[in-house]
Amino acid sequence: MTDNATHCWPNSPEQPGPGGRLIVVSGPSGVGKSTVTDALEERGGFYFSISVTTRKARPGEEEGEHYRFVSEERFGEMIRADELLEWAQYNNNFYGTPRRPVLDQIAAGSDVLLEIEVQGAMQVIGAYADAVTIFINPPSIDELIRRLRGRGHMSEETIERRMEIARGEMEIGRQHFDHRVVNDDLERVVGEILGILARSPSN
């Protein structure tokens, strides 16, 4: 913990002693965030925040495992009740991180990992100065375009728009994140992130 007013965690009576870390993994769409964080999850040792979203479940996604799927009305209630640590609108859907489970896990000493898009990551950076923030870059813009095309269902116009957004996000990554990694090889990048976390101080 830092001893000035910028530290993360409210020092409530229910939260004595050292806490775990809040770890944010973000990056542009198509960079492979979830593949990287799935691999980190397999290594264990983190609590993975389950986001709420207003988008429909995809085949194979389980309620409460991949997301909590909620209505827009419910999502709005969660915003108004200040239940979300961060939230963003992305591709016409809303996504957010429920605050309580994250703070409870940190208070219990667990490291909590959020895999979120860049607008939400910026909210976390603004509110929680002690968060460890890791930005995943593609090996190159061309490679990012290739990956987005590989998803097979986007028009050229959509890809062009995504590229513009990605360039802006990569600039945010350069300016505001603690660490930047390149997703050129899954095993290598996972090893690099684990190395970063091993060197990052606990609260």
Site string for ligand 5GP, 85-104 (x = CB under 6 A): -x-x-x----xxx-------
Q: Which is nearer to ligand 5GP, 9 or 69 (CB)?
A: 69
Q: Which is nearer to ligand 5GP, 89 or 200 (CB)?
A: 89
Alpha carbon of 159 to those of 31, 135, 140: distances in Å? 13, 21, 15
Provide the 10 A C-beta neighbour count for residue 75.
Answer: 21
How far is it, in rounded angstroms, from Cα 127 to Cα 120?
11
Which are the contacts of 138, defined by CB distance < 8 A and separation ≥ 6?
Answer: 27, 28, 30, 31, 32, 144, 147, 166, 182, 183
Q: Which is nearer to ligand 5GP, 18 or 74 (CB)?
A: 74
Helices (H), 49-111: 72-80, 99-107
Q: Which of 111, 115, 130, 169 binds ligand 5GP (CB under 6 A)?
A: 115
Is 116 a binding residue for ligand 5GP by CB under 6 A? The answer is: yes
Q: Which is nearer to ligand 5GP, 86 or 130 (CB)?
A: 86
Total residues at the site for ligand 5GP (CB under 6 A)?
14
Is 111 a binding residue for ligand 5GP by CB under 6 A? The answer is: no
- In the bound complex, what is the minimum distance in angstroms from residue 102's beta carbon to ligand 5GP? 10
Task: Restricting to residues 26-65, name those near ligand 5GP by CB under 6 A.
Answer: 29, 33, 51, 55
How far is it, in rounded angstroms, from Cα 94 to Cα 65?
17
Binding interface with ligand 5GP (CB under 6 A): 29, 33, 51, 55, 86, 88, 90, 95-97, 115-117, 120
